[in-house]
Structure 1
Amino acid sequence: MSDNEHRVGVKEVNLVIRHLKLESTSPADIKAAIVEIDKLFGLDAVSFDEKAQVLNLAYDASHLSLDAIEDVLHRFDIEIGHDWWTHIKEDYYKYVDQNVKDNASHTPWSCHQSPPGAGSKRK
Structure 2
Amino acid sequence: MKTKEHRLGVSEINLVTRHLKLEPSDEETILAAVSDIDELYGMDSVFFDARKWRLYLAYDATRLCLDCIEEILKKHAVKISQGWWNRFKEEHYRFVDQNVKDNARQEPWSCHQTPPTERRKR
TM (norm. structure 2) is 0.90
* Match of residue 24 from structure 2: 24
Could you tell me which residue of structure 2 aligns to residue 99 of structure 1? 99
Q: CA deviation at 1:88?
A: 0.4
2:44 paired with 1:44: yes
1:68-113 deviation digits (Å, cap 9, x = unpaired)? 0000000001111011010001111111111011111110123344
Aligned equivalents of 2:16 and 2:57: distance in 1? 8
1:87 equivalent in structure 2: 87
Count of residue pairs the alignment pairs up: 120
| Superposition RMSD in Å | 1.8
Hey, what does 1:54 align to over in structure 2? 54
Structure 1 alignment gaps of length 5 or more? none
CA distance in 2, matches of 1:73, 1:81: 12
User: Structure 2 unaligned runs (5+)?
Assistant: none
Question: For residue 15 of structure 2, what is the aligned residue in structure 1?
Answer: 15
